[in-house]
Structure 1
Amino acid sequence: MTSNETFPDDLLQLQERLHRTHAEYRAYLACLPWSVEPMKGWTRGERFSHRGDVPDSPGWTQEQKQTVARMMAELRELSTAVVDHPHWATIPRETLVKARMQLKQQTRPVEAGPAEAA
């Protein structure tokens, strides 16, 4: 395999969807309360906390739990589709990991810089 592996369009699209879905999942989780179930918070002095004071968590709503479960199912489905793609059977075993890493790097979204984000 050369460093310029050519991947089938459908595999590239699957990996791009996987990257995008994973980013959406992480962003969604970041907006949720810190505990799935209702839990009392604490102050920094009560327990070691790298975040300082931790407020009470109301827990997740049933809708939030269902959304997380749906997103996880989609991530599993996309991951399986990428890993099980027939293209991998054409890659020599000794270069398979390198090819998979190249696919991830090639399809990873580019982070917008400060000037681009504005």
Structure 2
Amino acid sequence: MNDENPFPRDLLQLQERLHRAHAEHCAYLAGLPWSVEPMKGWAHGERYSHRGDVPDSPGWSDEQKETVDRMWAEIRQLSIDVVDHPHWKSIPADILVVSRMRLKREGRPAEAADAA
């Protein structure tokens, strides 16, 4: 911790890992079929016409389901680690939320901060 950054280095590293884990999870989900379970698609106008034609979904494989579960478990644990970090006990209650929001901004990986 220093005057320029009020957060301990390990807390910043945890927050950065959380941002990265969340980004990896979102990217992984984007590459999966649209339905977890096999489901028939539909043509434009049949249902949810705002999406246009939707192809059949083969569903997710057991490996894909396990990967998503593992990623969620990592995100949950990192979230717990950030929230339960001892640093928060030293922050007055009236500025706790503002301080946590600042950590979210400052703990972003460089490439994510550049894209935002």
TM-score (norm 1): 0.88
Which one-letter code corresponds to 1:75 in the other structure? I
The alignment partner of 2:114 has SS state of coil
After superposition, where does 1:39-78 map in structure 2 within 5 Å? Answer: 39-78=39-78
How far, CA to CA, are the matches of 1:22 and 1:92 in structure 2? 28
How far, CA to CA, are the matches of 1:5 and 1:97 in structure 2? 17
Equivalent residue number for residue 91 of structure 1 = 91
Which one-letter code corresponds to 2:101 in the other structure? M
- Do residues 81 (structure 1) and 84 (structure 2) align? no
Which one-letter code corresponds to 1:95 in the other structure? I
Q: 1:111 Cα shift?
A: 3.0
Q: 1:44 Cα shift?
A: 1.4
Q: 1:50 Cα shift?
A: 2.4
Give RMSD over aligned pairs: 1.4
Q: 1:108 Cα shift?
A: 1.6
Unpaired segments ≥5 residues, structure 1 = 114-118
Identity over the aligned pairs, expressed in percent?
Answer: 69
Equivalent residue number for residue 114 of structure 2 = 111
Equivalent residue number for residue 31 of structure 1 = 31
How many pairs align? 110
* C-alpha contact 1:5 1:99 (8 A) present in aligned 2: no
Equivalent residue number for residue 19 of structure 2 = 19
Unpaired segments ≥5 residues, structure 2 = none
How far, CA to CA, are the matches of 1:90 and 1:5 in structure 2? 15
Q: 1:107 Cα shift?
A: 1.4
- 1:54-101: CA deviation from partner (whole Å, max 9, x where unpaired): 000000000000000000000000000000001001000010000000
